[in-house]
A and B are shown apart, each in its own frame.
Chain A
Amino acid sequence: MNVQAAITHILPLATIRRERLLPVPGRVVARRGQHITPTDVVAEAILDPEHLLLDIGRGLGLSAREADKYMAVKGGDQVGEGDVLAGPVGVARRVVRSPHDGTVVVAGEGQLLLRLDKPPFELKAAYQGEVVDLIADRGVIIETKGALIQGVWGNGRSSYGLLNVLAQAPDETLSVGRLDVSLRGSVVLAGYCDNEAVFQAGTDLPLRGLILASMNARLIPAASKVEYPVIVIEGFGKIPMNSAAFKLFSSSGRRDVTINAENWNRYLGTRPEVIMAVPESTQAELPDNTDVIVAGKHVRVVSPPYQGKLATVVSVSSTLSILPSGVTAAAASIRFEDGETALVPLANLDLIG
């Protein structure tokens, strides 16, 4: 039976359409048709609101019911610090004033809930391109064209800059000494990282981004802390970068690259990726996101002992196969680029396209 599987994109040229959404409803600030860079703000929202509950009755010296008659504001009203919220009452013309700038959420029963104004969270575009659609209160859809390489792990940051190819081989270990001043302000392509000090060195330069073939999982906390984006293309442990991605990167030195190192979240549909933009006039198609694993398809193996290797499917077994581990699974015979063949479970194959 042929079942659709997700595709990991490693493409020299594609039209790329991505949603950028706020985690909570807010305000979209980008316009349809606007050309944006990755650091432009496209939407904003208050992620950690602060409220004050004001006892208006007590402030006016009235019962809750009486106090309601003197409310000077209602839900939704914007108020500034010192503005009158309720009153005046009596000869002394007693009033309750707003202690902060903010928005009245609700007022009644002698109380008033005020949401304080504070700087909003700003959602960056993370991509360079054109805003092709707006999603009310949530965000935008951005379209761009270029080479697309998807990874497996990111530290949640995004940025852009000129690509500097540091790795001479797809599994070269990155040492602190390789990060010299000539790399300042660039996005660096490296192989394997197993030294925590590399991330601090990247901050000190500073780097605009770091693309790794693989990384020791022990470094996840350190890589998560740095302010520039870090993206891992293959996984954890010393895994060489797949040949297609390495070839694309290594032939793109000094090109503008955008890194969106969002974490891979299948439920939200986010995935870390790198885009090397081309002029908008270039003709490129939207890539398919699913396909069927059949003979002739290009795949990458996602587990040992062939992790990160690219191959072509020779045939898909019609019956279950017994693996060297003894486990029985639906499997495919695949041929690697060096001509070697292996039997690999379908579940361990990532369609590449």
Chain B
Amino acid sequence: MTTSLVDAESLLALEIGSVTTRAVLFDVVEGRYRYLGAGSAPTTAGAPFHNIIDGVRNALNQLQEVSGRTFIGADGQLMIPARPDGTGVDACVASLSVGPPLKVLAVGLLEDVSTESAQNLATTTYAHVIETMSLNDRRKTTARLDNILRLRPDLIIVAGGIEKGASQSVLSILESVGLACGVLPKEQRPEVLFAGNSALVKDVQQTLGTLASLQIAPNVRPTLDIEQLTPAQPALAQVFRHVRARQIRGVQEVDLWTGRKLMPSAMAFGRTIRYVSMEFPKKGVLGVDVGASATTIASAFAGDLILSVQSRLGLGENLPGILSLCSPDDILRWLPIELSADKLRDYIYNKSLYPASIPITEEELLIEQALATQAMYLAVRQARKSYPSSVHAPLPGLLPSFEPIIATGSVLTQAPKRGQALLTLLNALQPTGVTTIALDRNNLAAMLGAASGKNQYLVVQSLDATNFYNLATVISPVGQANPGTPVLHVRMTLPGGHETSREVKFGALEVLELPMGQTATLRLQPLHRFDVGMGGPGVGGNAVVTGGECGVIIDARGRPIRLNQEPPMRMEQIKKWRAVLRA
């Protein structure tokens, strides 16, 4: 697709993470949008700077050095739109993940219906549900009021009342919210997001409109059976902006640069994954962003996005949160070296003190990759709970077959060897069927999502193999067999007619050498009723695949992967897998 240069606009994308602030320049070169360079600098939201603009300027200064362009004027402001002399930039987009998770009070009618939907909506951004309130809650209005005042939530999400359903009970439960807002000084009041029965909007506005900063979103639970979170996300993003602008200096300024379109990075990442899913409607698309603030899982099925943000699984200052979700042994199982639980715990807490620190030794690198594996492992299993019933996995508890899987986050993109990133992803996600795993090598996915509302051409033209690097095509047969039993027969035919065949045994991880970018036809014949995602157990077929950096991978280690229970044997097992993938 080409773009008329008349319409072409240079675009500056900013991503303000909890550790790093990045600035990326896109512009049209030879008729299409290209990634022209990036600058990065430590984020300066915390002490002693307390203003994200310092970090943004540092990142922009670096981008200026790289690109030879000038973005900041003599007044210290971003020059937007671009000047006739070529300085400045035509448009700016930005996403933000820095800041403590929003403290959320989820309010609904029934605990396992609308209250759950309010909680689920909270998990689509950087938030932590600190309390729920529902009709099942028998506390008096004043007890609820005192609870809100004690907890001081940043945001109250109110769901409840299916369309044409309950109304009075929703209003009665809002009484304590209204009282709390009335009691608190204006600058201390929480944001309120109403995402309940649309017939109540006027009443809610009358009850809370003058007392709170109120946002209205489409009903997240329009019927008992249907939960719709995506339509509420723009309103949630607006609330997120308000809260962050109150908490962190400089957010408002960046928001102005973007025309008040600053968005949570997770939402921006989700937009990109959703966009890709519309290009691949036959299967779902999975996006994984393992970052310092959170691990984000974006799953999209033909344009329907399911976003899950796990703040307790961020690899930065929130890292100790992983220990509330799993034991040290669950992390240690991914290590090829011996390490005590105490040493792992010490590492986790030290990393949370200095989240920007980089592994100097190989041991540290292995620990970080093991932590990333477990964080993604837990996050994807949490996300899977929200998949619609129409999405089928080959066996209960497994992921459905995705095409492609897109991964981002510096622990993956900065891994010294691509095989390390691939093994981390294979162990964590344990994909099924035939899938391509792509690495967002320049960490652009969230930026493209933020840009999608402004410049569709840029997004389409940037979603290419230069930016989204093909790590490997992975074939993962699913079934039960004894280790060593042949479970898949593979014949690979190159375009010139050259053929290679292989019988893959259960428990093996194997590489079919296929150079990067070269295509081949695979004839897959599962044995013992194994499922390779071609129509059911035992069903084989042809698949045209493209070689990735690590070739074509046959992952017959079983789903879930069977790790040896004996630590020394398990470490040998992992060393062997690392050797296979040249990790």
Q: Which of A25, A217, A305 contacts B342 (CB 8 A)?
A: A217
Are B359 and A51 touching (Cβ within 8 A)?
Answer: no
Contact with A along B47-68 (1 / 0, CB 8 A): 1111000100010011001000
Are A327 and B353 touching (Cβ within 8 A)?
Answer: no
Q: How far does the alpha carbon of A105 sit from the alpha carbon of B346 in the complex, in Å?
A: 48
Give residues of chain A (289-335) contacting chain B, Cβ–Cβ below 8 Å.
289-290, 302-307, 323-329
B182 interfacial contact with A, CB 8 Å? yes
Give residues of chain A (256-292) contacting chain B, Cβ–Cβ below 8 Å.
264, 266-269, 271, 289-290
Given A52-B142, A113-B179, A216-B346, A303 and B58 contact (CB-CB distance below 8 Å): no
A348 interfacial contact with B, CB 8 Å? yes
Report chain B residues within 8 Å CB of A49: 146, 149-150, 183
Are A327 and B349 touching (Cβ within 8 A)?
Answer: no
Spot the interface stretch: B38-46, B70-78, B387-395.
B38-46
Q: Which of B45, B188, B357 contacts A266 (CB 8 A)?
A: B45
Q: Which of A3, A267, A344 contacts B42 (CB 8 A)?
A: A3
Q: How far does the alpha carbon of A323 sit from the alpha carbon of B142 in the complex, in Å?
A: 59
Closest residue on chain A to residue B411 by CB atoms: A327
Are A53 and B141 touching (Cβ within 8 A)?
Answer: yes
Closest residue on chain A to residue B147 by CB atoms: A48
Q: How far does the alpha carbon of A324 sit from the alpha carbon of B342 in the complex, in Å?
A: 24
Are B146 and A217 touching (Cβ within 8 A)?
Answer: no
A337 interfacial contact with B, CB 8 Å? no
Closest CB in chain B relative to A178 CB, distance in Å? 21
Given A113-B179, A235-B350, A302-B357, A5 and B149 contact (CB-CB distance below 8 Å): no
Are A327 and B58 touching (Cβ within 8 A)?
Answer: no
Report chain A residues within 8 Å CB of B45: 266-267
Q: How far does the alpha carbon of A266 sit from the alpha carbon of B145 in the complex, in Å?
A: 30
Q: How far does the alpha carbon of A88 sit from the alpha carbon of B62 in the complex, in Å?
A: 75
Closest residue on chain A to residue B366 by CB atoms: A325
Q: How far does the alpha carbon of A254 sit from the alpha carbon of B150 in the complex, in Å?
A: 41
Closest CB in chain A relative to B113 CB, distance in Å? 28
Are B362 and A324 touching (Cβ within 8 A)?
Answer: yes
Report chain B residues within 8 Å CB of A66: none
Report chain B residues within 8 Å CB of A77: none
Q: How far does the alpha carbon of A7 sit from the alpha carbon of B141 in the complex, in Å?
A: 48
Q: How far does the alpha carbon of A331 sit from the alpha carbon of B273 in the complex, in Å?
A: 35
Contact with A along B84-124 (1 / 0, CB 8 A): 00000000000000011000000000000000000000000
B345 interfacial contact with A, CB 8 Å? yes
Q: How far does the alpha carbon of A148 sit from the alpha carbon of B298 in the complex, in Å?
A: 47
Contact with B along A1-39 (1 / 0, CB 8 A): 101111100000000000000001100000000000000
Are A216 and B360 touching (Cβ within 8 A)?
Answer: no
Given A3-B41, A53-B142, A326-B417, A236 and B358 contact (CB-CB distance below 8 Å): no
Give residues of chain A (98-127) contacting chain B, Cβ–Cβ below 8 Å.
105-106, 113, 115
Chain B interfacial residues counted at CB < 8 A: 55
Closest residue on chain A to residue B348 by CB atoms: A217
Report chain B residues within 8 Å CB of A267: 45-47, 99-100, 247-248
Report chain B residues within 8 Å CB of A51: 142, 145-146, 179, 183
Closest residue on chain B to residue A268 by CB atoms: B47
Closest CB in chain B relative to A218 CB, distance in Å? 6
A47 interfacial contact with B, CB 8 Å? yes
A199 interfacial contact with B, CB 8 Å? no
Given A5-B42, A237-B346, A24 and B361 contact (CB-CB distance below 8 Å): no
A81 interfacial contact with B, CB 8 Å? no
Report chain B residues within 8 Å CB of A7: 48
Contact with A along B292-327 (1 / 0, CB 8 A): 000000000000000000000000010000000000
Are B359 and A327 touching (Cβ within 8 A)?
Answer: yes
Closest CB in chain A relative to B439 CB, distance in Å? 16
Given A1-B65, A50-B146, A217-B346, A325 and B360 contact (CB-CB distance below 8 Å): yes
Are B342 and A218 touching (Cβ within 8 A)?
Answer: yes
Which residue, of B65, B317, B345, B417, has the highest number of chain A Cβ atoms within 10 A? Answer: B345
Report chain A residues within 8 Å CB of B414: 327-328
Are B361 and A324 touching (Cβ within 8 A)?
Answer: yes
Q: How far does the alpha carbon of A302 sit from the alpha carbon of B185 in the complex, in Å?
A: 42
Q: How far does the alpha carbon of A329 sit from the alpha carbon of B358 in the complex, in Å?
A: 8
Are A25 and B185 touching (Cβ within 8 A)?
Answer: yes
Q: Which of A115, A266, A271, A325 contacts B359 (CB 8 A)?
A: A325
Report chain B residues within 8 Å CB of A52: 142
Which residue, of B45, B350, B353, has the highest number of chain A Cβ atoms within 10 A? Answer: B350
Chain A interfacial residues counted at CB < 8 A: 54
A345 interfacial contact with B, CB 8 Å? yes
B529 interfacial contact with A, CB 8 Å? no
Q: How far does the alpha carbon of A47 sit from the alpha carbon of B99 in the complex, in Å?
A: 23
Closest CB in chain B relative to A110 CB, distance in Å? 14
Q: Which of B46, B150, B360 contacts A324 (CB 8 A)?
A: B360
Q: How far does the alpha carbon of A35 sit from the alpha carbon of B149 in the complex, in Å?
A: 33
B365 interfacial contact with A, CB 8 Å? yes
Are B349 and A266 touching (Cβ within 8 A)?
Answer: no
Report chain B residues within 8 Å CB of A325: 358-362, 364-365, 416
Closest residue on chain B to residue A237 by CB atoms: B346
Contact with B along A331-353 (1 / 0, CB 8 A): 00000000000001101101000
Q: How far does the alpha carbon of A329 sit from the alpha carbon of B342 in the complex, in Å?
A: 28
Q: How far does the alpha carbon of A105 sit from the alpha carbon of B349 in the complex, in Å?
A: 44
A153 interfacial contact with B, CB 8 Å? yes
Closest CB in chain A relative to B558 CB, distance in Å? 30
Q: How far does the alpha carbon of A68 sit from the alpha carbon of B88 in the complex, in Å?
A: 63
Are A323 and B358 touching (Cβ within 8 A)?
Answer: yes
Are A302 and B345 touching (Cβ within 8 A)?
Answer: no
Q: Which of B48, B188, B347 contacts A24 (CB 8 A)?
A: B188
Report chain B residues within 8 Å CB of A50: 142, 146
Closest CB in chain A relative to B503 CB, distance in Å? 34
Give residues of chain B (359-406) contacting chain A, Cβ–Cβ below 8 Å.
359-365
Closest residue on chain A to residue B182 by CB atoms: A106
Report chain A residues within 8 Å CB of B562: none
B356 interfacial contact with A, CB 8 Å? yes
Are B50 and A323 touching (Cβ within 8 A)?
Answer: no
Are A290 and B358 touching (Cβ within 8 A)?
Answer: no
Closest CB in chain A relative to B542 CB, distance in Å? 38
A189 interfacial contact with B, CB 8 Å? no
Are A302 and B354 touching (Cβ within 8 A)?
Answer: yes
Report chain B residues within 8 Å CB of A348: 354, 357-358, 360
Report chain A residues within 8 Å CB of B415: 327
A62 interfacial contact with B, CB 8 Å? no
Closest residue on chain A to residue B359 by CB atoms: A325
Q: How far does the alpha carbon of A236 sit from the alpha carbon of B319 in the complex, in Å?
A: 14
Q: How far does the alpha carbon of A5 sit from the alpha carbon of B359 in the complex, in Å?
A: 19
Report chain A residues within 8 Å CB of B358: 303, 323, 325, 327, 329, 345, 347-348
Q: How far does the alpha carbon of A264 sit from the alpha carbon of B48 in the complex, in Å?
A: 12
Q: How far does the alpha carbon of A203 sit from the alpha carbon of B140 in the complex, in Å?
A: 40
Report chain B residues within 8 Å CB of A266: 45-47, 317
Q: Which of B58, B65, B142, B360 contacts A304 (CB 8 A)?
A: B360
Report chain A residues within 8 Å CB of B360: 303-306, 323-325, 344-345, 348
Q: How far does the alpha carbon of A350 sit from the alpha carbon of B361 in the complex, in Å?
A: 18
Closest CB in chain B relative to A165 CB, distance in Å? 25
Closest CB in chain B relative to A269 CB, distance in Å? 4
Q: Which of A47, A113, A307, A327 contacts B365 (CB 8 A)?
A: A327
Are B353 and A153 touching (Cβ within 8 A)?
Answer: yes
Report chain A residues within 8 Å CB of B61: 1
Report chain A residues within 8 Å CB of B138: none
Q: Which of A113, A236, A306 contacts B346 (CB 8 A)?
A: A236
Pairs across A and B, CB under 8 Å, 26 listed: A1-B65, A3-B58, A6-B48, A6-B49, A24-B152, A51-B179, A52-B142, A105-B182, A217-B345, A217-B349, A236-B345, A236-B349, A267-B45, A267-B247, A267-B248, A269-B46, A302-B350, A302-B353, A302-B357, A303-B358, A304-B360, A307-B350, A326-B362, A326-B416, A348-B357, A348-B360
For the complex of A and B, the 10 pairs showing the least CB-CB separation, nearest first, are A266-B46, A326-B416, A237-B346, A289-B48, A269-B47, A236-B346, A325-B365, A217-B349, A347-B356, A345-B358
